[in-house]
Structure 1
């Protein structure tokens, strides 16, 4: 059995590829909504974050023979837990990493090394910050925005728990855009204009994550963009689904159903 840690659209497609190729797949998603999306692809689903001891126990209990880490490029903690769990249980670990967006050289594009740096940079570039990096690090941006008298508009998933987190942190409903992406250039442009954005903050999540259309829309409106660079990935990450499937096929210790 193959365990796939799926936190992206790529992860769902990987699960679909493996099931279609005849492998027995257990797919893990961090949230119930992620589980709902995965359920369409024919694999057994589990939901909820896994601590190291829980992942080790799961690998042993379900006799997992290989782990595919297809979590978000910025989910460093989950990937580290997965690597440790594989080391402890002595099963292969394969990391799938979606490609980055090639950023154009432009005076309005400001690359940063992390969330804190991005938050500080954004407050220097505009008084209305349009944040497109999700809710997990929202407190970092809110703290910086309040300190510098900036308005923070956040675009997040329309999940009750996410909205509740935004409200608990003190965000007004007028500053919450609850929509699921990725978004077209046209929609990004319309939203940036509607909310009076003066600076846009994004991760480099690749084309699948809509980074290209966010940046293009911002540049059309002459808005500065703060880009949070990806964490450095360990060597050996796989960047295409075809390469991943080929590597799995070559492993004789992973059995098809």
Structure 2
């Protein structure tokens, strides 16, 4: 059986393709939302909830012949745990890594090497930050922005647990854009203007994350955008397309 850590669209796609190709697939989703998407896709074996390294080792010992890590490009801890668990148990590890977006060279486009670097650069560029960094990074962003008198507008997933967490952080409905991306350039332009954004914060999460459209919109509006570059990990095997993973499995594993 193949275990897919499906924290991305690509993860859901590869799980579906592998199942269609005749492989037995178990898919791990961290959130109820991810589980619901997989269920609607017709994935037969789904486990919900986060797996630390110890729990993942136990799962891998239950007849898993390949671990496909399709977690988010910025979920570095999840990938590190997956590589370590696979190496300990002796299960082959494969990283499905979406491609990055080429960042244009422009005075309004700023690279950042880490979350803190992204936050500090943004604070120096304006007083209204439009964050698309995700709800998990809001505590650090708000902790730095509030003492500096900087407003944060956060675009987050429109799911109840995320919105509740944002309200617990003190964000009001006026500070929240509950919207699932990716968004078109035109919609990003409208949002930046509606909320009078002075700086945009984003991750370089690749074409699936709509980075190119966010940057194009910021340049159209004429405001700076800070792009947090993804962490660099050393994976034993990396493929970039779900179809490549299926071809690898057809060549190296038995179906069923």
Whether these two folds match at TM > 0.5 is yes
Deviations 1:61-94 (A, max 9, x none): 3x11111000000001111111111112111000
Deviation at 1:210, TM superposition (A): 0.7
- Ranges in structure 2 where 5+ consecutive residues have no aligned partner: none
Say if 1:122 and 1:226, in contact at 8 Å, map to a contact too: yes
The residue that corresponds to 1:120 in the other structure is 120
Kindly indicate whether residue 46 of structure 2 is the aligned counterpart of residue 50 of structure 1.
Answer: no
Deviation at 1:40, TM superposition (A): 2.7
The residue that corresponds to 1:104 in the other structure is 104
Say if 1:145 and 1:152, in contact at 8 Å, map to a contact too: yes
Deviation at 1:255, TM superposition (A): 2.6
**Aligned equivalents of 2:233 and 2:108: distance in 1?**
26
Question: Which has the higher mean CA deviation after the structures are superposed, 191-200 or 170-179?
Answer: 170-179
Aligned length: 254
**Aligned equivalents of 1:86 and 1:158: distance in 2?**
34
Q: How does 1:168-207 map to 2 (within 5 A)?
A: 168-207=168-207
Where 1:125 maps in the other structure, the secondary structure is coil
- RMSD in angstroms over aligned alpha carbons? 1.1
Say if 2:154 and 2:177, in contact at 8 Å, map to a contact too: yes
Where 2:227 maps in the other structure, the secondary structure is strand
Say if 1:15 and 1:41, in contact at 8 Å, map to a contact too: no
Say if 2:14 and 2:243, in contact at 8 Å, map to a contact too: no
Deviations 1:79-131 (A, max 9, x none): 11111111121110000100011111100000011111111111111100000
Kindly indicate whether residue 238 of structure 2 is the aligned counterpart of residue 256 of structure 1.
Answer: no
Deviations 1:117-176 (A, max 9, x none): 111111111100000010111111101111211100000011111111111111111101
The residue that corresponds to 1:239 in the other structure is 240
Deviation at 1:233, TM superposition (A): 2.8
Where 2:146 maps in the other structure, the secondary structure is helix
The residue that corresponds to 2:208 in the other structure is 208
Q: How does 1:14-93 map to 2 (within 5 A)?
A: 14-43=14-43, 44-61=45-62, 63-93=63-93
Question: Structure 1: which 4+ aligned runs deviate by more than 4 Å?
Answer: none
The residue that corresponds to 1:153 in the other structure is 153
How high is the TM-score relative to the length of structure 1? 0.96
